[in-house]
Amino acid sequence: MPQREGILRIPRELPKNQMEWEQFARRLNENFFYDGVRAIIAEAATIAEREGTDIGTVLSRIADNGRAEDQRFLPQVSAGNVLSLQDVNPLVASADATTATISVSAHTVQYGFGTVSLNSGTIVGLTPSTVYYVYAQDPDYEGGALTYLATTNRQNVTADNDRYFLGAIETAISANTAAITAATSASPIEFTTGTNHGWFTGNDVTLTGLPGDFGTNLNGNDYTITVTAVNKFTIAVDGSAYTPYTTGGLASRVSSDTAGGAGGGGGWIENSYA
Amino acid sequence: MSEVKVRRVMLKTEHDNQKWICYEGYVDGVPAVTKTLTIATAAYVARPAILDEALTKLRSDVAEYHANYLALQSL
């Protein structure tokens, strides 16, 4: 760093006489002084190793309260684009009769400064048919084997500066079965289950073990149901010519995997729950 | 083949440590095959067997990843 005129770098070049001390003090006071309350860094002061850059220029886009006051304070990738993108949609959900699982596949995140790789993980014991927001603690952008967590409150994702948001996903519908105890020879066919089925209109069920014409025409097939009561549902099939139902049969709700949506900074950019 | 190991992972806050039970499966010296497991504590309380089931799958997955890793090393 070239020697500035009149400035002495302490401690290597101590002033040799009173005149040099006075000159040193005057130069120093032009750049750094005390107003009786606070220490003041003057605009002419600069930063070590920053040739030709003064404090005023460096701080021109930071307000007095310490916050950025001009979007150009941020690099273009942060101000003009999403902040990061994943290479694949890392989230898939599945469910059994009682709980759901979110599987996180290994993936990479592309930032403006480079790529971070993350290992796979699993979150077990979640509630089916529920939107979860998946995140992990990664304060230093290290990636690797992170512990993945899921919350139903999306604001929890941004409640800690250290969190990486993977994306959101609605867990799959739980698979469960109900015994059939009655069926109508009508259009549409209405089935009665032995216990409350807990299903919803729009769910898909597989019918098996049905007797007579019901079995011949319906067994082994999937149907989208309309719920008519806690223990009844219909399927859009004309069974008016079917011989009357006797006994037996099972309806099994179908559970299918679901895929996640957009992650942090734009993430995968797909269906977004954010 | 190196042994697959499992260890408990503690989270940042005590609140999270009450809400989640976390493990990671790994092979010494091969960080790329490490996989993490998170189990909702409520699900474990409702059905304790879920922990053993999940840990069994974790060990199986890491063993598979390690086998794939070794296969690539031989290329």
Q: Report the candidate in A88, A93, A86 with the shortest Cα–Cα distance to residue A110.
A: A86
Q: What is the predicted pLDDT for the residue at A265?
A: 59
Closest residue by Cα to residue B24 from A147, A175, A273: A147
H helix intervals, chain A: 18-31, 55-58, 76-79, 212-218
The answer to whether A213 touches A171, Cβ cutoff 8 Å, is no
Cβ neighbors of A81 (< 8 A, separation 6 or more) are A266
The predicted structure's pLDDT at residue B31: 96
Cα distance from N-terminal residue to C-terminal residue, chain B:
17
**pLDDT for position A268:** 60
Distance (Å) from the alpha carbon of B30 to chain A's nearest alpha carbon:
11
**Which residues 13-52 on chain B approach chain A with CB closer than 8 angstroms?**
16, 20, 22, 24, 26, 31-32, 34-40, 42-44, 46-47, 50
**Tokens at A95, concatenated:** 């469910």
Quote the pLDDT of residue A234.
Answer: 97
* Cβ neighbours for A159, distance < 8 A, ≥ 6 positions apart: none
Per-residue pLDDT, A52:
65
The answer for A 130-159 residues in CB contact with B (under 8 A) is 137, 144-150
Q: Which residues of chain A have pLDDT under 70?
A: 1-12, 51-52, 262, 264-274
Q: What is the pLDDT of residue A12?
A: 62
Other CB atoms within a 10 A radius of the CB of residue B64 amount to 13
DSSP A89: -
Q: Look at the block and give the residue holding tokens 């994943």.
A: A86
Model ipTM value? 0.94
Chain B residues in contact with A126 (beta carbon < 8 A): 40, 43
Dist CA B37 CA A104 (whole Å): 10
Cross-strand pairs, A110: A85, A115
Contact (CB, 8 A) for B46 and B31: no
Is residue B64 within 8 angstroms of chain A, CB to CB? no
Looking at the predicted structure, is the pLDDT value of residue B1 above 60? no
Which pLDDT value is given to residue A11? 53
Which residues in chain A are contacts of B31 at CB distance < 8 A? Answer: 144-145
Pull the structure tokens for residue A225.
């149901």
Distance from C-alpha of B16 to C-alpha of A144, rounded to nearest angstrom: 20
Does the distance separating the beta carbons of B12 and A137 come in below 8 Å? yes
| Cβ contact A108:A115 at 8 Å | yes
Q: Which of A124, A137, A140, A161 to mutate to test the interface with B (most CBs of B within 10 A)?
A: A124
The string of DSSP letters for B24-68 reads: EEE-TT-GGG-EEEEEEHHHHHH-THHHHHHHHHHHHHHHHHHHH
